Amino acid sequence: MNGCGVAPDDDVARYWLKKSAAAGNAQAAQVLKMIGGKSGARNGCNYVATLPWLKQRCTDPDCRNIVRMVENLSQEYDLDANLVLSVIRFESGFNVRAHSPKGASGLMQLIPETAVRFGVRDIWDVEQNIRGGMAYLRWLLAYFKGDLVKALAGYNAGERRVLQYGGVSPYRETRGYVKRIIRDYGKSFHRYDLRWLDEDSRPVQGLV
């Protein structure tokens, strides 16, 4: 709220003051009343999931555990939890046993080549599957310098297809996939770090 070390932002301040007040902090409740205004959806933390459909979609313990795991791992992989959860939603519908006719498996629908490329030993292990998908996502973001449209197109069809067509390939599946996630996530750019390319700089062919 006061801008100590960050830009002043009453909307983000309201979010955390409300959390603190709900936990019984009287001072937070007083400050919240002082600044007034309505609380927005932003929380100032990229590792906390805020997608509006999560409350209705993730009502069972297994789904909630997946959300918590993504939030925890997002800090390690420096990815927005909302982005990862949106990808999971459209890749597998949160079905840990999802398997496509093209050989993609698990929550993040890894193909065997991608699993091996990013160190996944057991593609059906939930955490390993998420880690593999997140490693590939952050690699794609570095490769395409934060352009989320190209990164998502690469995740769906392979980065070589993106290079071949200079962007999203003409495949209907890929175009629909990218459009849905961008709309769901609400952003077309994500921070990136070129050091992520050190993991594996070899473009691979997608299955579409």
Query: Would you please indicate which residues are annotated as catalytic (active-site) residues?
Result: 91
Q: Mutual orientation of helices 81-92 and 126-143 as an angle, nearest 10°? A: 110
Q: Which residues pair with 105 in a beta bridge?
A: 99, 110
Please, where are the H alpha helices in the chain?
10-22, 26-35, 54-57, 61-77, 81-92, 112-117, 126-143, 148-157, 159-165, 172-185
Backbone phi and psi for residue 172, each to the nearest 5 degrees, phi listed first:
-60, -40
Give the 3-state secondary structure of residue 189.
strand
Q: Which residues pair with 147 in a beta bridge?
A: 189
